[in-house]
């Protein structure tokens, strides 16, 4: 049985905002309202999935 590994592109809130050319507040709002999923890697380490950012903001092809 073959399995396929998917790699998540996890980035910081700052990097996601730079990728979209928007503010970190925009990303924070989407995290707060549940539109984006928060991936907590530690007590103060939060990442977002760049593929999810693409889908939410309409950049996915």
pLDDT in tens, 7-45: 888 999 999 999 999 999 999 999 999 999 999 999 999
Number of domains in the chain: 1
Q: Is residue 61 part of a domain?
A: no
Q: Is residue 2 part of a domain?
A: no
Q: Is residue 41 part of a domain?
A: yes
Query: What pLDDT is attached to residue 3?
Result: 65
Query: What pLDDT is attached to residue 2?
Result: 65
Cα angle at 35 between 34 and 41, to 5 degrees?
A: 65
Q: Is residue 4 part of a domain?
A: no
Query: What pLDDT is attached to residue 8?
Result: 82
SS3 10: strand
| Structural domain range at position 24 | 10-56
Query: What pLDDT is attached to residue 6?
Result: 73
pLDDT at 61 over 70: no
């Amino acid at each position: 049985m073959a399995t396929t590994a998917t790699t998540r592109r996890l980035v910081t809130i700052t990097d996601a905002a730079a990728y979209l050319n928007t503010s970190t507040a925009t990303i924070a709002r989407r995290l707060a309202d549940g539109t984006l999923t928060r991936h907590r890697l530690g007590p103060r380490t939060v990442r977002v999935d760049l593929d999810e950012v693409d889908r939410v903001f309409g950049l996915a092809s």
